[in-house]
């Protein structure tokens, strides 16, 4: 059967489905109406195909090789490391005894007088130090004395001053000074009996070593002198008393100021009589700071 015959038959069947045959119906008119509908469907399909959006020729095209994909921001840089800590173990800090009156004399007396300064000259052997290594006087111990009969009622209110003068003369020199109040409960006391005191009115005494620490007063720089004049000073009261040695120490190494300036006690004694003075009982400690590549012993 020819294709035109099939198409005509299909149209006629379509007309019969849309427009069922009725009496007095014009068949030609129905067929014409169906043709109009088919043309309308065809036109809609063609319009949809034409309406597909096309690239705008006015916009520049970016080459694919120039595309940069989105990447996250780099993390912030790490904080700088802290500065290296000072290696304290490389500095060897050693305290050692430089003078102890009990190695040269014994306790003989107890003395105090308001306003008086009494000092002795001490020579220190210069340590063999390298560059930046230092030494200094670290502390002075004074032998405090209290009469036994007053010990239980002795007030914690009496002051004493320790003075350290550079060089062998306290005149025209500026001392390092430290003033402390004697508190009996802070010290370790022992009872002693003086054999033949010249000034103490009571032979039975309590004694204790009393430390004056100059660690925050004397700088760490190297000591500029090999000799220092070190002594005690009483303020407005004749207490507390201080232990004094036997009369076998050099007068030429002893300076006393009773209110009119320092005078060397050697001026009142001949050379043959020089070893007849009594010194205040003291001990002196030095501090040495030396550098070592090894950890120092505790």
Please list the residues that pair with 136 across neighbouring strands.
Answer: 287
Please give the share of the chain, as a percent, with pLDDT higher than 90: 55
| Omega before 240 within 30 of 0, i.e. cis | yes
The count of C-alpha atoms lying within 13 angstroms of the C-alpha of 222, restricted to the half-sphere facing its C-beta, is 12
Mean pLDDT of 208-232: 92
Mean pLDDT of 11-31: 50
User: pTM (2 decimals)?
Assistant: 0.68
Q: Provide the mean pLDDT of the chain.
A: 82
C-alpha dihedral sign at 11, 15, 16, 22? negative
Mean pLDDT of 112-132: 88
The pLDDT assigned to 247 comes to: 94
Cβ atoms of 244 and 280 within 8 Å: the answer is yes
Beta-strand relationship, 159-166 and 282-291: unpaired
The pLDDT assigned to 3 comes to: 46
The pLDDT assigned to 20 comes to: 54
DSSP character for 293?
Answer: S
Beta-strand relationship, 227-234 and 254-257: unpaired
The pLDDT assigned to 294 comes to: 64
DSSP letters spanning 85-139: PP-GGGEEEEEEEEEEGGGT--EEEEE--TT-EEEEEEE-PPP---TT-EEEEEE
CA distance 9 to 6: 5
Task: Check whether 11 has a pLDDT greater than 90.
Answer: no
Among 124-128, 205-209, 222-226, top mean pLDDT goes to 205-209
Q: What is the pLDDT of residues 41-96, one digit of tens each?
A: 444 444 444 455 555 656 556 555 555 556 677 888 888 777 765 554 467 888 99
Mean pLDDT of 233-252: 96
Total Cβ atoms within 10 A of residue 60? 5
Mean pLDDT of 96-109: 96
Q: What is the pLDDT of residues 250-281, one digit of tens each?
A: 999 999 999 999 999 999 888 888 999 999 99
Top-confidence residue, 52 or 243? 243
Q: What is the pLDDT of residues 129-184, one digit of tens each?
A: 777 788 899 999 999 999 999 999 999 999 999 999 999 999 999 999 999 999 99
Domain range summary for the chain, segments of one domain joined by +: 108-267+279-290
Instruction: Work out the pLDDT band at 199, boundaries 50, 70, 90.
Output: very high
């Amino acid at each position: 059967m020819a294709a035109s015959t099939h198409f005509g038959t299909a149209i006629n069947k379509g007309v019969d489905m849309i427009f069922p045959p009725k009496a007095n119906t014009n068949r030609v008119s129905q067929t014409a109406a169906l043709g109009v509908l088919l043309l309308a469907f065809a036109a809609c399909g063609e319009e949809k195909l034409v309406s597909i959006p096309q690239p705008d020729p006015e916009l520049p095209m970016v080459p694919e090789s120039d595309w940069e994909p989105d990447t996250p921001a780099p993390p912030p840089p790490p904080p700088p490391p802290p500065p290296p800590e000072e290696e304290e173990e490389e500095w060897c800090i050693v305290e050692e005894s430089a003078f102890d009156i009990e190695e040269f004399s014994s306790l003989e007396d107890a003395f105090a007088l308001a306003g008086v300064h009494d000092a002795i000259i001490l020579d220190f052997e210069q340590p063999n130090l390298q560059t930046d290594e230092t030494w200094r006087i670290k502390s002075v111990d004074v032998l405090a004395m209290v009469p036994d009969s007053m010990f239980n009622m002795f007030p914690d209110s009496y002051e004493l001053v320790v003075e350290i003068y550079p060089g062998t003369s306290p005149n025209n020199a500026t001392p390092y000074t430290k003033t402390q109040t004697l508190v009996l409960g802070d010290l370790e006391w022992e009872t002693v009996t003086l054999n033949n005191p010249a000034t103490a009115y009571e032979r039975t005494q309590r004694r204790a070593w009393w430390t004056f620490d100059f660690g925050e007063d004397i700088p760490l720089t190297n000591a500029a002198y090999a000799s220092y004049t070190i002594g005690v000073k009483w303020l407005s009261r004749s207490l507390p008393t201080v232990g004094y040695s036997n009369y076998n120490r050099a007068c030429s190494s002893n300076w006393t100021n009773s209110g009119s300036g320092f005078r060397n006690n050697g001026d009142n004694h001949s050379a043959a009589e020089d070893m007849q003075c009594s010194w205040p009982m003291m001990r002196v400690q030095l501090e040495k700071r030396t550098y070592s590549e090894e950890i120092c012993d505790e």
